[in-house]
Amino acid sequence: MSSPGAYDVDLRSLIDVLGTNLYSNPGVYVRELVQNALDAHTVAGTADTEIAIETDGVEFRIDDHGCGMSRSVIADLLGTIGRSSKRDDLGFAAEDTIGQFGVGLLSAFLVADAIDVDSRTPGGQPVGWSGSVAGRFTVADGTRAEPGTTIRLRARRGSEKWLHPHRVRRLVTDYIGLRRTPVRVNGETITPVADPFGADLNAGERAARRIAFCQDEFGFTPLETFELSVPQAGLRGVAYVRPSASDPTQRAGHRCYVKGLLVGDLADLLPDWAYFVRVVIDAQGLALTASREGLVRDELFAEVRDGLAAQVSDWLVRLGDHTSARERFLAVHELGIKSIAHRTPELLRFVDRHCRYETNVGPMSLSAFRARFGTLRYTSSVDDFRVLADILTHRGVGLINAGHAFETAVIRELLHANPDVSCEPVTQQYLLGQIGVAGTDDADTFAVLLDAARRALLRFDCRAETGAFDPESVAALLITDDSAQLDRDREQLLANVEGKADAWLSALAGLVTDTEPVDGRPTLVLNTTNPLIQRLNGIHDELVRGAVLRTIYGQAAIRTRRPVSGVVAAEVDEALGILADLAARSVDVVNPPSPQSDS
Ligand SMILES: Nc1ncnc2c1ncn2[C@@H]1O[C@H](COP(=O)(O)OP(=O)(O)OP(=O)(O)O)[C@@H](O)[C@H]1O
């Protein structure tokens, strides 16, 4: 026959487990003792009465004026691991107190071998309780004169630093957060953080308090603030819009308090697209983990996360209607917002309506551009835009520069979200197709010049074409092909590798051989409507024509706004030198030196 038994607990091993697996550091004992004292004040209705801590690095003592413990409950509560007075008959945590697991006091064994308690309930007798890490405790008469509890610890050898006044003061400061119960450490009252919620304040004071909180705790002055609330979690909060651009992939923690006490900075309180705000919340209803250093990721937490995300998103939508606030926001976050436009439909809509793109008719939003031109005609490269912009302006065609980070992705996302949006990616090759090469008449007329141009441009590894396009003031366009340039760079890279290429380079080699060979050389298109080109067609001196053509090439290269290479600059200098010599010679011919002035 089997007989019933009861678990024996090896307290030292349990403390080891708590110390290594539950709590992040032994300093948590301060938090647990302060939290017990605050809970006792809440129960007794003495929230405004002081809690006092005295410590000299060896002896630590905390005095509260809370509800105290009677003789009958002290052995039961403190002598039973996992027993707590802060749960109801059904095991639910009480609403206004913090503790619930019945293990917090044990954390004092992380720094001390014994815990001495002296407690008294209102109208009751003082009772003493002493527990040792060896797992034994005694109950005796206490000495406390007033209701409340005193707990004393003596530092275990090696743990003195955790009882050092400076460290204790810092731990208390961090932890008491927004609670208004005064806590003194060695006679000095610890100042709680500026409460950003302050229900008893008028609107002006509350706004000042919020800003002060952000400056003190987050270290910046916010661009904007707005309120947050999730009633089902008893949550109030404030969102602070960051005043400077930050990396959307960097997740900063959001300050989280539960019942006014600090839990910590949690990165996952908001989705990462909400990178432009940092929030502080205080929630009554969110469940704390047993270590009280984090929140339980339960259904309510998920509701809070969704609720907060929706409120940040709503704020952004409302911002759309407030021009000056929106401009202030975009001046800082425009690029970041574009980079995350695909994350939610609201963000995409905001970016579509309010974020500006460079276009050939001035900066404007994509939706304004659509309203004006119908089709989102865009370049994915800044170089393409620079070459194409003026030409298309003269043809009354709108062009968007989507060559900056993430801009093309936004346009693709718009198309994805609404297939009716009309989009057209444009490259310089498109322009070549649009302006076409010269008609047959022109081709004949300019054949000799074109031939000369091909020879003159050989040294620039550049092709030559003729074409007629507006504006006629532009003598030539240098059309480059970025993808071909990339291929050339890649080939060059591989050619420079000595020995066996590593896996990455071999993969690149595969790419090169798989790619159709392209003539990726730039093309100089001579504008047959341009007066200079027409005049040049009538000049047959090879030297002069070559020099002018190379100068035209240099001018077209500058127009692309790419860096002009040293070789090109030297060639253009030389060509200008030739033209200057010729000009000087013709001056000499027209005005030969007078024999008199020579003498
Ligand atoms: N300063 C105090 N005043 C009055 N009662 C106290 C005090 N400290 C502890 N107690 C009592 O002892 C019990 C056990 O405390 P302990 O800190 O171990 O657990 P808890 O606070 O209930 O829960 P948790 O483990 O979540 O902190 C408490 O529930 C409370 O009833």
From 15, 23, 30, 36, mutation site for ligand 1 pocket: most ligand atoms within 8 A of C-beta: 36
Count CB atoms within 10 A of the CB of residue 260. 18
Q: Same structural domain for residues 576 and 550? A: yes
Which ligand 1 atom lies nearest to the CA of residue 66? 3
Q: Same structural domain for residues 444 and 569? A: yes
Could you tell me the sign of the dihedral formed by the alpha carbons of 152, 156, 159, 160, in that order? Answer: positive
Give the number of residues written for the chain. Answer: 599
For residue 508, the model assigns a pLDDT of 43
**401 inside domain:** no
Pairing of strands 51-55, 112-120: unpaired
Q: Same structural domain for residues 174 and 220? A: no
Q: Same structural domain for residues 439 and 578? A: yes
**449 inside domain:** yes
**Spacing, Cα 300 to ligand 1 middle (Å):** 25
**Spacing, Cα 77 to ligand 1 middle (Å):** 8
**35 inside domain:** yes
Q: Same structural domain for residues 184 and 287? A: no
**147 inside domain:** yes
Last residue of a domain, one of 289, 320, 351: 320
Q: Which residues of the chain have pLDDT under 70?
A: 1-4, 6-7, 88-94, 247-251, 432-443, 481-520, 586-599
Q: Which domain holds residue 260?
A: 203-320
CATH number (domain holding residue 529): 1.20.120.790
For residue 497, the model assigns a pLDDT of 53
Q: Same structural domain for residues 78 and 144? A: yes
**Is 502 annotated for ligand binding?**
no
**Is 25 annotated for ligand binding?**
no
User: Using CB atoms within 10 A of its CB, is residue 53 exposed (0-12), middle (13-18) or buried (19+)?
Assistant: buried
CATH number (domain holding residue 241): 3.30.230.80
Which ligand 1 atom lies nearest to the CA of residue 64? 1
Q: Same structural domain for residues 207 and 95? A: no
**Spacing, Cα 6 to ligand 1 middle (Å):** 23
**Spacing, Cα 192 to ligand 1 middle (Å):** 23
**497 inside domain:** no
Which ligand 1 atom lies nearest to the CA of residue 73? 31
Residues near 562 by beta carbon (within 8 Å), at least 6 away in sequence: 383, 480
Last residue of a domain, one of 320, 352, 367: 320
From 31, 39, 74, 81, mutation site for ligand 1 pocket: most ligand atoms within 8 A of C-beta: 39
How many helices (H) does the chain have, and how many strands (E)?
19, 21
For residue 509, the model assigns a pLDDT of 44
**Spacing, Cα 280 to ligand 1 middle (Å):** 28
For residue 490, the model assigns a pLDDT of 52
**216 inside domain:** yes
Last residue of a domain, one of 167, 190, 213: 190
Tokens 């002069």 identify what position?
544
pTM beyond cutoff 0.80: no
Q: Same structural domain for residues 534 and 445? A: yes
Give backbone dihedrals phi and psi of 293, rounded to 5 degrees, phi first. Answer: -105, 5
**Is 149 annotated for ligand binding?**
yes
Q: Same structural domain for residues 207 and 180? A: no
Given a contact cutoff of 8 angstroms between Cβ atoms, the answer to whether 254 and 263 are in contact is no
Q: Same structural domain for residues 167 and 253? A: no
User: How many domains does the chain divide into?
Assistant: 3
CATH number (domain holding residue 16): 3.30.565.10
**384 inside domain:** no
User: What residue ranges line ligand 1, CB within 6 angstroms?
Assistant: 32, 36-37, 40, 64, 66-69, 77-78, 84-86, 99-105, 149
Give the residue from 286, 267, 293, 349 showing the smallest Cα distance to 316: 349
**Spacing, Cα 33 to ligand 1 middle (Å):** 8
Tokens 């071998």 identify what position?
113
- What is the C-alpha to C-alpha distance for residues 403 and 382, in angstroms, rounded to an integer? 5
Q: What is the DSSP string of 339-382?
A: HTGGG-HHHHHHHHHH-EEEEBTBSEEHHHHHHHHSSEEEESSH
Q: Is 14 helix (H, G, I), strand (E, B) or coil?
A: helix
For residue 32, the model assigns a pLDDT of 93
Q: Same structural domain for residues 176 and 210? A: no
From 23, 84, 183, 293, mutation site for ligand 1 pocket: most ligand atoms within 8 A of C-beta: 84
**Is 379 annotated for ligand binding?**
no
**Is 36 annotated for ligand binding?**
yes
Q: Same structural domain for residues 134 and 107? A: yes
User: Does a cis peptide bond (omega within 30 degrees of 0) precede residue 192?
Assistant: no
**596 inside domain:** no
Q: Is 19 helix (H, G, I), strand (E, B) or coil?
A: helix
- Note whether ipTM > 0.95 here: yes
